[in-house]
Chains A and B, each alone.
Chain A
Amino acid sequence: MQYVIVGGSIAAITALNVIRANRPDAKMQMVADEAVPFYYRALIPFLLDKSRTVDEILFTEQPTDDKRVKFHHDRCVGVDSTQKVIRLESGNPLPYDKLLLAAGSSSVRPDIPGVGSTGVYTLRNMDEALKVRDALEGCGKAVVVGGALAGIKMAESLQRTGVHVTVVEQFPRILPFIADTETAQRMSQKLGQEGMAIHTNDSAAEILATDGKATGVRLVSGKTIPADLVLLMVGVRPNVEFLAGSGVDTDLAVLTDQEMQTSVPDIYAAGDMVQIHDAVTGEDVISGLWGNAVHMGRTAGFNMSGIKAVVPPFLSSFNSTEIAGLPIISAGLIHPQSEQYTVYTEAQGENYRKLIFDKDRLVGMIFLGDITKAGVYINLIRNRIALGERKDALIREVMSVLSTL
C-alpha cells in the first residue's frame, strides 16, 4: 500500500504515526516544501529571541527515523485523482493508493504600497523565522501588523531581544479571537507596562521605505511609526490552490466528512487546510488550532489504515497562552451577540473569570490569571452538557476560587 502525505507539520505527522503503527506493510512518502520540516510551529517565537535553537524546537522523534518513510523536499502542484498521482514542482509524478492533504496554510501578505521593501516579513515558518532572527541584528524598532495571538507572541519575543515594538490591530482590541474587551484591556495594559506600544482600530496603509529598505509604517489613521523591521501577522489562508481540477471539493477550505475523507475516495485531508464545523457556535470555520489538527490527523490516519474512526466534536475557539506574565484560557462562544445568552463575570486583582451560558449549558468561558481546572469546564462546553440544577453550583465553584486567592 502506497501512502502519500502532503505536509510536514502536526496533522501530517500524527497521521503518519497512526499509519506506521497500524500498517506494517505501508510504504509512506511525505512531501513538504520546507527545508527543515518537522518542528513545533508554536515554538517559533523562541527562535527569534534565541531562547531556543533550531534543534530544540524539532520533533523529538523525526518521521524519517522510520526507514519506510521517504521524504521529498518538494511542493505538490497538482492532484490527478483519476490516475491517482500527484504532481510535484520538481516534475516527478508520485503515485498513491491513499493520499493525505495536510499542506496547512500560508501567511496573508496585505497588498499595500511598499510591502516588497527589505525588512518586511511575514512569519509563520522556520525559514522566515531564521531570516527575521538575522534581521534583528542592529534592529532598534519594529512594527508588528496584526495583534491577534500570533502577532502578540512574536511582538513579545522581539521585545525580549531589546527591540522597541509597536503593535497595530484593526479590531478595537488586541487578541480579538481569544479575549473579550475586559481581558484585552488588561492584557494591553500589562504589555504597555512592559514598553510595548499598541494601536487598535487602526491598520497599515503603507510601508515607508528609503532605497527599498523599510523605514516605517504609515497607518490608516495617518500616524507614522518608524521601524527597521515590519512583521505582517494579519492572518493565514489555507493552501488549497494546488487542488484546482482535482475534484476535491472546497468552500472556505477543503471539505471532508467525519472520517476526514474528502469528496474524492482515497483522498483525505487534515489540519489547517480543512473546514470544520464548530460544535458550539454551529459555524463552519477553518480551525487553525493544534489540537484539532491532531484529532484530524489521527482520524485520517486510522481511516487510511482501514480502521474506521470519526473526529470528536470540534471547538474552533479553544486557546491557552501566557501574555505579559498573565495566563489566559478561553473557549467556545466568547463574544455572545444575543440575549439568549447569560453572562457571569467575576474579578479579583489580576484575575478575571467569565462564564457564558445558553440556558443550562455552558457555551463559553474566559479564565484570566488563575486558570485552575479550566479544562474541566471546557469539557462541559465541548460536549454540550446540560447542567440542569447543577448550573448554580458550577457558577459558585468557578467564581468562589477568586475570593479565596
Chain B
Amino acid sequence: MEVIYVQADRCLGCKTCEIECRIAHTDTDTENTLFAAVSQLRPPKRRLFVEQGEKGKTPVICRHCEEAPCIVECISGSIYRDEQGFVRRKKERCIGCWSCIMACPFGVVVRDAEAHIAVKCDHCPDLDTPACVTGCPTKALQLVDVDSLPQERRKELLLKKEV
C-alpha cells in the first residue's frame, strides 16, 4: 500500500500542497485549474494543513488510521474505508453532526459550513498520485510504499550519521 509520507524537515511552508489540494477538489465540469478553483461560488476547502511545528512548518494530513476514530464515531455511515484502505466520506450520507471532528486526534477533518458536510483527505482516488504530493516542490510530501519505508528510513539515518 502506498501512503503519503511527510518529511517535516523538507517543508518550507510554501503551502503549494494546500493550493493543489483545493484545485484537485474543485467541483467543476471543466479541467480543474487554479482559475476554476477561485472562480467557484464556494471555493473548495483544503484537506491538509501547513502548520507551525516545534522546529518549523510542517504539513499535517490525514493518516488514514488503521483503527480510525472518525469511522468509529461516525453516526450516519458516512465515513468508511475504501478498497484501497483509505478513509473516505460519502457526501450524501453526511449529516453535519461533526462527530468526526470531535474524534480526529490530528485535527484534519474540517467543517464545510455552507455545504453542511465534513471534509477530509480522500487521497485523491481519481489521480495516480495525490495532488499535494505532485505539487510539493521540495518533496516534503512523497508517495511511498509502506513496506519499503523502514528500509529508506534506515538509509536516511545512515547517511545523516556520516555527515
- Residues of A whose CB lies within 8 Å of any CB of B are 40-43, 46, 59-60, 290-291, 294-295, 318-322, 327, 329, 331, 371-376, 378-379
Contacts and interface: CB of A to CB of B under 8 A. Distances in A.
Contact of B111 (A59, A318, A371, A379): A371
B96 interface: yes
A320 B109 CA distance: 13
Nearest to A328: B98
Contact of A378 (B76, B77, B102): B102
Contact of B106 (A60, A319, A371, A375): A375
Nearest to A383: B105
Contact of A321 (B69, B97, B104, B107): B97
B72 interface: yes
Given A46-B95, A320-B98, A322-B96, A372 B107 contact: yes
Interface in B88-126: 93, 95-99, 101-107, 109-111
A320 B77 contact: no
Contacts of B109: 375
B36 interface: no
7 contacts: A291-B72, A294-B72, A372-B110, A373-B101, A375-B101, A375-B103, A378-B105
B80 to A, nearest CB: 8
Contacts of A291: 69, 72-73, 99, 103
B51 to A, nearest CB: 10
A320 B76 contact: no
B98 A371 contact: yes
Contact of A371 (B77, B93, B101): B101
Given A371-B102, A373-B101, 6 more contacts: A40-B76, A320-B99, A375-B69, A375-B102, A375-B107, A376-B105
Among A42, A60, A294, A375, the one with the most B-chain Cβ atoms within 10 Å of its Cβ is: A375
Given A40-B77, A327-B98, A329-B101, A373 B72 contact: no
A262 B91 CA distance: 39
Q: Which 7 A-B pairs have the closest CB atoms?
A: A373-B107, A379-B105, A320-B102, A42-B75, A375-B104, A376-B107, A291-B73
A374 B75 contact: no
B72 A320 contact: no
Q: Which of B95, B104, B107 counts the most chain A CB atoms within 10 A?
A: B95
Contact of A374 (B72, B76, B96, B102): B102
Interface of B: 69, 72-73, 75-77, 80, 93, 95-99, 101-107, 109-111
A327 B77 CA distance: 20
Given A60-B77, A290-B73, A43 B95 contact: yes
Contacts of B80: 60
B75 A40 contact: yes
A290 B75 contact: yes
Nearest to A378: B102
A59 B98 CA distance: 19
Given A42-B75, A60-B77, A321 B110 contact: no
A59 B107 CA distance: 27
A320 B101 contact: yes
Contacts of A320: 73, 97-99, 101-102
A116 B128 CA distance: 62
A320 to B, nearest CB: 4
Contacts of A379: 105
A290 B75 CA distance: 7
B99 A290 contact: yes
B77 A322 contact: no
B77 A321 contact: no
Nearest to A370: B111
A59 B77 contact: yes
Contact of B105 (A322, A327, A375): A375
Contacts of A41: 75
Contacts of A321: 97-98
Contacts of A329: 98, 101-102
Contact of A331 (B76, B77, B102, B107): B102
A60 B82 CA distance: 13
Contacts of A42: 75-76, 95, 97
A373 B98 CA distance: 11
Nearest to B75: A42
Contacts of B96: 322
Contacts of A322: 96-98
A243 B105 CA distance: 38
Contacts of A46: 95
A123 B30 CA distance: 47
A322 B72 CA distance: 19
B134 to A, nearest CB: 27
Nearest to B106: A376
Contacts of B95: 42-43, 46
B41 to A, nearest CB: 20
A329 B72 CA distance: 16
Contacts of A60: 77, 80, 93
Nearest to B52: A397
